[in-house]
Amino acid sequence: MARNIVQICNEAISDLPAHPIVGIDDSAAEARECNRHLNGVVADLIGMHDWSFCKRRSPLAVVPNDRSGEWGYAYSLPDEIVSPIVLVRDANASSVPGIVVTPMLYWPGPAAGYEQIDYALADNKLYTNLEAAILEYSLDAVEPNKWHPLFAQAVIRTLAARIYRPILGEKADTQEWLVKQQTARAALNQAIADDLNRFPRRRKEFVPEAVIARGAYGYGSVVWP
């Protein structure tokens, strides 16, 4: 069942226990602490994994290339990006040889429309040798009604751990706080495992474009010409 922000907060508050809130902007201490911590919790958890429910694919806008000696193209990163996942080649694009910097760790394979494309990130720009680049990336802001239930549980348990001591103050028990942190980590691990099981990623050892072009291959960190 989809949850809204108040429901997420109240489930976390009930784990303390403390008084439920009516709205995130309430004057109560519970609402203030939820308002202070919730966005950070969500951003932290989204940044820990390429969640299937918060991916977007978008063409990148070309910007002046201040590294033309290294890369063929420069693009601005989307405002809502948390982390890049993979570059996708446009049907009419071409790739020019260049210097390899960043490996792609997860590669679903050609059947999924992916191929291994090198890039580097700096100053809110993405540099690559791919023309008309399309980037698949994790979003920074996702509404709670779009969260997978296990991700929602991870948010709830992590939020509970973070607001426990600020709300309970002197009544907070250090051992109980540590238990809540452990519970939060377990909930996150379960959510990640479930996401990987439902949307498997196939790990591929990185071989640079320039090496592939000359017909070499590799295994682990070793590349043979």
Return the amino acid letter for 63: V
- Reading phi first (left if > 0) and then psi (alpha if -120 to 50, else beta), residue 215 is in left
Alpha-carbon span 99 to 119, nearest angstrom: 9
Place of tokens 């549980």: 153
Span 120-137, pLDDT tens digits: 999 999 999 999 999 988
The alpha carbon torsion through 122, 123, 125, 126 (nearest 10 deg) reads: 10
Mean pLDDT of 86-109: 48
Question: Residue 212 belongs to what H/E stretch?
Answer: helix 209-213
Mean pLDDT of 71-87: 91
* Reported pTM: 0.70
Q: If we measure between CA atoms, which residue out of 40, 43, 35, 47 comes closest to residue 9?
A: 35
